[in-house]
Chain A
Amino acid sequence: METARKSAQDRLDAMGLPQRRDEYWKYTRPDLLTTETVDAAARLNLDEAPVFDAIDRLKIVFVDGVFDAGASDDLSLGGVEISQLKDAADWADDLYGTLEENGQSPVERPLAALNSAKATQGVVIRATGKVPKPISLIYLRKSDTSDVMLHHVIRVEKGADLTILENGPAAARLNSVMEVDVADNAAFHHVRAMGRDHERRAATHIFGRLGTESTFKSFTMTVNGKLTRNEVVLEINGNDAVAHVAGAAMGDGDFLHDDTVFITHDSLNCESRQVFKKVLRNGATGVFQGKILVKEGAQKTDGYQMSQSLLLDDDSQFYGKPELEIYADDVLCSHGSTTGAIDDEAMFYLQSRGISKVDAQDLLVLAFLAAAIDEIEDEPIADDIRSRLEGWLARRRD
């Protein structure tokens, strides 16, 4: 792994940290993610059960970015091998930094290289069969100035089925990388709820490689946070594979959420789908940069990309940059990006039935986000996410 870290450092040195003038960072200022020192981010005191609390899962807990064995469950479970990054088996040693490196072209992702060069904490997961319950990564915080790097290496072997959950406040500044290698006929599901501390910053990368007839589905919910840059970089290498990436974000005030997605189709008859929804108010900013690249010969590709934002006032902003780049001639690709306000007609209709203005607005906000949440395949997990959003909308008024 030292070799991989060294070569990641070389990559980073060659490309340098992201700068404001970089095209890929046009809408999101990278400085908060790259400063030497980290500003404190106050921790929210929440008197509510954490997300996924009611879901039967295997818990792996990190406190300020360090694995906490005492707080975690016993890591032995059927159909899966779990270890810490420092104890990585040979296969993980080989995979570490590989998908990240593949994802550096055609667009550079220096923060991911930085992570590969420096991270020492994370989990290594190898699913060999149908894993009976989700593996839940929980990121707790005790320090106001925690600066955390996590690097997870995951391989879902042929025919295996794995669900990963992620939640928790994580850090004042989080840099995380997840490399996921999904073998033929394997399925990977990922549901994440980002931390809700108002001043926290996060740059996350998910690098995925998909084999033949494999499935990759990832959903992220973001509520609060000063700055979030979530990059998902997928390479579809096997025929008949399916990749879905979705996100629901809700921001109020000093909030910037950036979804940057790059999906490369390099095989036959594959489907990819991006569904991102953002609700913004009081000057919050949303960014979406999504790309579908269909390589020569990747015939019968079915690519779909939808990014929508709902602006609840005139101060909020949304920047969308949807891109398609297609080198095959028999493909179906569609994309859409919309920005709009709450529908006055619908508001009046709801109010005329006795529903108060705030309740009516909440109903319409949840309705707007519904299409992204519907991308979560597991119903109990999707319901958990839905009820969180309802609760948080209600709580915001107190």
Chain B
Amino acid sequence: MLNIKNLHVKLEEEDKQILKGVDLEIGAGEVHAIMGPNGSGKSTLSYVLSGRDGYEVTDGTATLEGEDLLDLEPEERAALGLFLAFQYPVEIPGVGNMTFLRTAVNAQRKHRGEEELSAGEFLKEIRAKAKTLKIDADMLKRPVNVGFSGGEKKRNEILQMAMLEPKMCILDETDSGLDVDAMKLVAEGVNALRGEGRSFLVITHYQRLLDHIKPDVVHIMADGQIIKSGGPELALEVEHNGYADLLAEVA
């Protein structure tokens, strides 16, 4: 599904190298987690993959189902099936959540040569999906993320994911700012989307999210590289011993 080879990325403005040769292969239907200390490059990886400005790829490749991602506009990557759940979802005053979602769903359908959803079809689908995420009608009507609590914003991200039905989902610290109940709700939303060959890359600081979203593979990232990969037990190891031992081990 997602294939990253020797990815080197620097910040455009500061000439600072952030990713220093990332290799990662995620197969169809697999759930991978990336853990790592602050500043290791986890969020940069998610932004570079989704096409945010400000980063320069100096070496390496990233493909989604064989298609080169790195030269594409963010919307083209989305249409190929890539989705990033933001660590800090953006507030957009004046744009209704519902309008936003319908525009997004139909833009992707159009891009893929599919017919646009009618207002009725869209409404039916979003209502059903919003309900399972405990998102009420009022939240759908309000401007995108404006005045949403931390938990509401994250649930709104998962709702977008559910509506857009991407193939490859990247969750960037989706657990940050969530209490246990909110995290459970979000995890349930994610788990409901597992299967059908859909792949996930879960970026997190803490092991606790991985109790709810069980990964197939766990990677440890440090200083712009993946320094160790293993099964779910690797996350537990981090939980018990912190990153220091792992870092020392590699050094």
Interface residues in chain A, defined as those with a beta carbon under 8 Å from any beta carbon in chain B: 343-346, 348-357, 359-360, 363-364, 366-368, 370-371
Q: Is the CB of A346 within 8 A of B90?
A: yes
Closest approach, in angstroms, between the C-beta of A338 and any C-beta of chain B?
13
Q: Does B174 make an interface contact (CB < 8 A)? A: no
A66, B141: Cα distance in complex, Å? 46
Taking A343-B92, A351-B75 as known contacts, 13 extra A-B pairs with beta carbons closer than 8 A to each other, sorted by chain A number, are A348-B90, A352-B75, A353-B78, A354-B111, A355-B103, A356-B73, A357-B75, A359-B107, A363-B99, A363-B100, A367-B93, A370-B94, A371-B94
Closest approach, in angstroms, between the C-beta of B97 and any C-beta of chain A?
12
Q: Please report which residues of chain B, range 79-126, place their CB below 8 angstroms from some CB of chain A when the two chains form the complex.
A: 79, 83-84, 86, 89-90, 92-95, 99-100, 103-105, 107-108, 111
| Residues of A with C-beta under 8 A to B93 | 367
| Residues of B with C-beta under 8 A to A348 | 51-53, 74, 90
Q: Is the CB of B92 within 8 A of A367?
A: yes
| Known interface pairs A344-B53, A348-B53; A353-B104 also in contact (CB < 8 Å) | yes
14 A–B pairs (Cβ distance < 8 Å), ordered by A = A344-B53, A346-B92, A348-B53, A349-B90, A351-B75, A352-B74, A352-B75, A352-B77, A353-B78, A354-B78, A359-B107, A363-B99, A363-B100, A366-B95
Closest approach, in angstroms, between the C-beta of A149 and any C-beta of chain B?
38
Q: Does B160 make an interface contact (CB < 8 A)? A: yes
A356, B99: Cα distance in complex, Å? 15
Q: Does B218 make an interface contact (CB < 8 A)? A: no
Count of A-B contacts with CB under 8 A? Answer: 80
| Residues of B with C-beta under 8 A to A357 | 73, 75
A366, B94: Cα distance in complex, Å? 8
Closest approach, in angstroms, between the C-beta of B130 and any C-beta of chain A?
16
| Residues of B with C-beta under 8 A to A344 | 53
Q: Please report which residues of chain B, range 11-70, place their CB below 8 angstroms from some CB of chain A when the two chains form the complex.
A: 50-53
Interface residues in chain B, defined as those with a beta carbon under 8 Å from any beta carbon in chain A: 50-53, 73-75, 77-79, 83-84, 86, 89-90, 92-95, 99-100, 103-105, 107-108, 111, 143, 160, 164
Q: Is the CB of A352 within 8 A of B84?
A: yes
| Residues of A with C-beta under 8 A to B100 | 350, 353, 363
Residue of B nearest to A362 (CB): B103
Q: Which of A349, A354, A368 lies in contact with B94, CB distance below 8 A?
A: A368
A354, B114: Cα distance in complex, Å? 14
Q: Name the residue in B52, B78, B84, B90 with the highest tally of chain A Cβ atoms < 10 Å from its Cβ.
A: B90
Lowest 3 A-B CB distances belong to which pairs?
Answer: A367-B94, A354-B78, A351-B74
A263, B73: Cα distance in complex, Å? 48
| Known interface pairs A356-B75, A363-B100; A351-B94 also in contact (CB < 8 Å) | no
| Residues of A with C-beta under 8 A to B75 | 351-357, 360
Q: Which of A346, A349, A353, A360 lies in contact with B164, CB distance below 8 A?
A: A353
| Residues of B with C-beta under 8 A to A353 | 75, 78, 100, 104, 107-108, 160, 164
Closest approach, in angstroms, between the C-beta of A310 and any C-beta of chain B?
11
Residue of B nearest to A371 (CB): B94
A158, B206: Cα distance in complex, Å? 69
A281, B31: Cα distance in complex, Å? 45
A117, B52: Cα distance in complex, Å? 60
Main secondary structure of the interface of A (DSSP, over half): helix
A354, B103: Cα distance in complex, Å? 9
Q: Is the CB of B79 within 8 A of A364?
A: no
| Residues of B with C-beta under 8 A to A352 | 50-52, 74-75, 77-78, 83-84, 86
Closest approach, in angstroms, between the C-beta of A183 and any C-beta of chain B?
36
Residue of B nearest to A344 (CB): B53
Q: Is the CB of B164 within 8 A of A354?
A: yes
Closest approach, in angstroms, between the C-beta of A163 and any C-beta of chain B?
25
| Residues of A with C-beta under 8 A to B74 | 348, 351-352
A377, B90: Cα distance in complex, Å? 30
| Known interface pairs A348-B52, A348-B74, A363-B100; A355-B94 also in contact (CB < 8 Å) | no
Closest approach, in angstroms, between the C-beta of A347 and any C-beta of chain B?
9
Q: Is the CB of A351 within 8 A of B53?
A: no
| Residues of A with C-beta under 8 A to B111 | 354
Residue of B nearest to A367 (CB): B94
Closest approach, in angstroms, between the C-beta of A363 and any C-beta of chain B?
5
A367, B100: Cα distance in complex, Å? 11
Closest approach, in angstroms, between the C-beta of B18 and any C-beta of chain A?
17
Residue of A nearest to B82 (CB): A352
A153, B164: Cα distance in complex, Å? 56
Q: Name the residue in B99, B100, B105, B164 with the highest tally of chain A Cβ atoms < 10 Å from its Cβ.
A: B100
| Residues of B with C-beta under 8 A to A354 | 75, 78-79, 104-105, 107-108, 111, 164
| Residues of B with C-beta under 8 A to A367 | 92-95, 143
Q: Is the CB of B53 within 8 A of A364?
A: no
| Residues of A with C-beta under 8 A to B84 | 352
| Residues of A with C-beta under 8 A to B160 | 353
A353, B108: Cα distance in complex, Å? 8
A355, B111: Cα distance in complex, Å? 10
A360, B83: Cα distance in complex, Å? 17
Residue of A nearest to B96 (CB): A367
Residue of B nearest to A369 (CB): B94
